[in-house]
A and B are shown apart, each in its own frame.
Chain A
Amino acid sequence: MLQGILLTADQAGGNVDFMIHGIFSYQLFGQQVWITTSHVCLLIVILVLTIFFIVGGQVFKHASEIPGAFQNVLELIVEFLDGIVDKTMGKKGLGFRNYIGTLFIFILFSNLSGLFGLRPPTADYGVTLPLGVTTFFLIHINEFRFNSVLDVWKDKCSPLPAWLPLWLPINLIGDFAVPISLSLRLFANVLSGTVMMALVYGLLSKIAYGWPAVLHAYFDIFSGAIQTYVFCMLTMTYISNAIGDKE
């Protein structure tokens, strides 16, 4: 069971293993459903984040004028997250700060969990696709909330006039490609890092001392942070495009 959760658990054996393993299966509506190692890694990440922010909430209940170290860090995180939402979406982003902040922290910690030996939960398409689908629904709910149906129709027929919906299917395909490309981008980036680290630890396990830290720094920290940033930026850009310029 440990094999899939800890990426480096099988170091001595010298075989490459970066797959998701099933832990146990059960029947749900006649389908066989597996609880996999991804669920366990996801639970670990969520538990760590929950504990961190429960403690953070307690600190903020007794917030002082001159912040201590922990309060300072929390204020830094919140200010940074609010800052990127404000910079990208402007006034429209006020209602989205909580969602984007949650998304950012969750994806970042999922990607960084590779650093602690876990198999990153975002290297499972079942984790990233829901994130993409959430973005998809947010885009289109907000599109209809802030624009009239006629405006949306005009936008969907956009390069041609509204009475000639020749371009409509292509625009619709473009809309449905958004969640797929968003989720595949995150998934494939994290997966490529995971596979690379598994290859290093599996095939070069005799000499893999110390220097894989450089690879971890690139694949887990740099690539993970960039992909987190990109996912959030694209989500914000799509949503603010869908809302349009109307106040």
Chain B
Amino acid sequence: MGEFNQAFIFGCSAIGAGLAVIAGIGPGVGQGIAAGYGASAVGRNPGAKGDIMSTMLLGQAVAETTGLYGLLVAMLLLFVKPFT
């Protein structure tokens, strides 16, 4: 990276990290939808609350993964600094 100086690369990394955590929108929407359907399922069948809760949490945790990948990319850009 001869042409650019250090500060320019840090700044671009920070902007990239900010853009990367936009990935959090998707899991937010997805988990909200899952929680909404979970609530309606409990309303329809309150007896199965335990099963619904565990299934919902499992699905939400899997859906959360994509957002966490965005977070990891941001972390790598900010703290590991791969481009310097």
A interface with B by C-beta (< 8 Å): 19, 181, 184-185, 188-189, 191-192, 195, 226-227, 229-230, 233-234
B interface, CB within 8 angstroms of A: 54, 57-58, 61-62, 64-65, 68-69, 71-72, 75, 79
| Contact A226–B68 (Cβ < 8 Å) | no
B65 touches A184 (CB 8 A): yes
Known: A184-B65, A185-B64. A229 touches B57 (CB 8 A): yes
Provide the bound-state CA to CA distance between A184 and B57, in Å: 18
- Residue of B58, B62, B69, B79 touching A188 (CB-CB under 8 A): B69
Within the complex, the shortest CB–CB distance from A198 to chain B, in Å, comes to 11
Partner of B61, one of A184, A195, A227: A227
- Complex contact B62–A184 (CB within 8 A): no
Known A230-B57, A230-B58; contact A195-B65, beta-carbon cutoff 8 A:
no
The answer to whether B64 and A184 have CB atoms under 8 Å apart is no
Question: Once the chains bind, are B61 and A19 in contact (CB under 8 Å)?
Answer: no
**Leading 9 A-B pairs by shortest Cβ distance:** A188-B68, A230-B61, A185-B65, A188-B72, A233-B58, A188-B71, A192-B71, A230-B58, A181-B65
Residues of A within 8 A of B57 (CB): 226, 229-230
Query: Chain A residues with Cβ under 8 A from B72's Cβ?
Result: 184, 188, 191
Q: Is the interface of B mostly helix, strand, loop or mixed?
A: helix
Which residues of chain B have C-beta atoms less than 8 A from A233's C-beta?
54, 58
| Residues of chain A contacted by B75 (CB below 8 angstroms) | 191, 195
Neighbouring A residues of B79 by C-beta, 8 Å: 19
Q: Which residues of B contact A230 (CB under 8 A)?
A: 57-58, 61-62
Set of chain B residues within 8 Å of A189, measured between Cβ atoms: 64, 68
Instruction: Report the separation of the CA atoms of residues A131 and B68 in the bound assembly, to the nearest whole angstrom.
Output: 18
Give every chain B residue within 8 A of A226 (Cβ-Cβ). 57, 61
User: Which residues of chain A are within 8 angstroms of B65 by Cβ–Cβ distance?
Assistant: 181, 184-185
- Give Cα A230–Cα B58 distance, bound, in whole angstroms: 6
Q: How far is the CA of A181 from the CA of B61 in the complex (A)?
A: 12
Q: Which residues of B contact A234 (CB under 8 A)?
A: 58, 62
Q: How far is the CA of A188 from the CA of B69 in the complex (A)?
A: 8
With CB as the reference atom, state the residue of chain B lying closest to A230.
Answer: B61
Contact of B68 among A19, A184, A195 (CB under 8 A): A184
Closest A residue to B68 by beta carbon equals: A188
Give the distance to chain A from B42, nearest Cβ to Cβ, in Å. 18
A231 to chain B: closest residue by CB: B61
Other A-B contacts than A185-B62, A230-B57, A234-B62, 7 sampled, CB-CB below 8 A, are A184-B72, A185-B68, A188-B72, A189-B64, A189-B68, A230-B58, A233-B54
